[in-house]
Amino acid sequence: MKKKVVLIQENEDILNIMDEVLEDEGYDVTSSLTTEPIEQIEEIDPDVVVVDDHIKGPKKGSQVIKELKSDPETEDVSSVLTSTAHNIAKTAEDCMADDFIQKPFDIDHMIDVVRKNAE
């Protein structure tokens, strides 16, 4: 069975590249420019969620991850924060993310982080 990834990015080009690469790697990807898939997290039941910290909407990606990690229903979903911010390691730690991807990123590194967290 395919591993499922929810991919939320603020940049459509980056979203499309990440989506295509992960699908080529055999993942079942639900991608979005909004946090809408988070509303259906229990139905989607992803193995890993990859969220950009600067998504459009009322919440930052780090807030979305913190809420997932604070909810007993979703606390076990692996969460990866992506950002161009230089302090992403601290932001990821503060929101209880399992991992982070600093942008701009190397495609192979992105695949490795997703693979590690989708186990």
pLDDT in tens, 57-107: 889 999 999 999 999 999 999 999 999 999 999 999 999 999 999 999 999
| pLDDT beyond 90 at 26 | yes
Residue 31 is predicted with a pLDDT of 98
d(CA 71, CA 38): 12
Question: Which CATH number fits the domain that encloses residue 102?
Answer: 3.40.50.2300
Number of domains in the chain: 1
d(CA 99, CA 37): 20
d(CA 54, CA 42): 23
Residue 53 is predicted with a pLDDT of 97
Q: What is the pTM of this model?
A: 0.96
Residue 57 is predicted with a pLDDT of 80
Q: Which domain holds residue 81?
A: 4-118
